[in-house]
Structure 1
């Protein structure tokens, strides 16, 4: 009898365990299926997103103008301007000479200013040094005059006493 009860108990326990395991397995399978579905959706959206931006990049590249082409366009615009300026200067050669002469005079003026700047600083230092020497000389003369005045007063007081 105890053996029969033990066997029944074990069967019930096994049934409960298998029912729990089955429920767990079905929940796990549902979660995995849901995750797979979301992963497939995310992958499809990612691929579509990448393809869309590949197409956008290709369109932008098609619209892009190369640096060489831009340089050619700029050169094509500047060559006629250079020719026009040269033609104008050839009509009025004095303007060309005047501009060079004016630039030379401006450069000479700048050099003179720089040279005079150095001379001015040297002159200022010399004037300050001379003024300082004169001021010291005047101070010495004032001290001498004060000393002489005191000496005269002292002699007068000696003579009067």
Structure 2
């Protein structure tokens, strides 16, 4: 009797532990991606398959981005990214460009609109971007902002870029 009770408790604990994960762990495992990045590099789980290379807005203006698979402009650089002089560059860029930390592209691709920072809200995109001329919004798993969902966000984004 004690042995079957112990086995029952062990199975119950195993099941409960296995079901307690709130975020899937699905790292990107494709080819190595080289991402040009304006701003601070994010923390990701893909150490061997993704390289972040710091670039500047001037690199974009001078076509010094062509060796990268995509360009990320991080949240700390979004105010500068909304400068009118860059809007035409973004729409003509021949690589995916992702604005991390905003739910809209409007201040970046439309002249005379300023970026107004705000915190992430459930139901909104976590980032926006242009890939082959198509506008995308990128959300977080279950609309929750935490370390695990942000890492999964990047893994999914890398799969899309590939």
Structure 1 length-normalised TM: 0.20
Greater Rg by CA: 1
Larger RCO (CA within 8 A; separation ≥ 6)? 2
- The structure in which a higher percent of residues are helix is 1
